[in-house]
Amino acid sequence: MHHDAQHARRTKHGAGVRASRGRAFTLLELLVCVAVIGVLAGLVAGAARHAVHASHRAVCANNLRWLHGAVAAYMQDHRETLPWAVDPYSLAWDRHDPVEAIAPYLDVAAPFIDEEDVVVTGQPWECPASREVAGRHGSSYDYPPHRLMLKHGRTRVTRFHAASPWQPIWMDREFDAHPGAGKMAARFDGAVGRWSELRR
C-alpha cells in the first residue's frame, strides 16, 4: 500500500512536469510575440510623431495669427499701409523691419543679437518646427511683401494686397517646415493654415 502511494505521487509529479513543459512557448510563438510588439511599438512611435507635428502646427498657427494681428494694428495707426521692409532678416546690419515695426503691438521684444553675437528670439517669432532658422535670422517667418516693396514701393504693394486678400503676409521661411504639411502661412485677410491649401 505504501508502495502504491509513492507510485501515485511520482505519477502525479511526472504529469505535472509534462503539463508544465507542454505550456512552454515555442520558438514560433516567441517570434510572433516579438513581431506583434514591434508593430505596436511602430504604431506608438508614429502616433507620437504625429502628435508632435500637430502640436508644432498649432503653435505655428497661433504665432501667425499673432503676427497678422500686429500688422493689422500697425496699419490702423499708419493710414492702412503695410509695414515697410527693405531686408527684414539682416539682424547683423541692425535692419530687421517689419519686425521692429510691429513689436510694440505684440508687447514683446524684437529679436536681437546679444553681446556674444547670439541671436535672441522667442514667441511669436520662433516656429517650434524651425528653431534653427529663428536662431540664424531672428524669425522663423518670412514677410513676402518686402520682396515686392523693393520693386514697386510700399503704397502699391499695400494696394495690391488689399485687392488680393489671399496674398500671404507671413509664412514659414523653410519650404518643408512642417513634415507632410509644408509651409504654414497667414494671408492678408487673416486666414491661417497650410499654404498649399490657402493659395487654392
Q: How far apart are CA 104 and CA 114, in angstroms?
A: 20
pTM over 0.85: no
How confident is the model over 58-80, as pLDDT tens digits?
Answer: 999 999 999 999 999 999 999 99
How confident is the model over 77-88, as pLDDT tens digits?
Answer: 999 999 987 655
β-bridge partners, 170: 186
- How would residue 93 be classed by pLDDT, with cut points 50, 70 and 90? very low
Which residues have C-beta within 8 Å of that of residue 67, sequence separation ≥ 6? 102, 106, 124, 141, 169, 170, 186
Q: Is the pLDDT of residue 169 over 50?
A: yes
Distances (CA, A) of 18 to 4, 9, 11, 26, 28: 21, 14, 11, 15, 20
Q: How far apart are CA 110 and CA 100, in angstroms?
A: 6
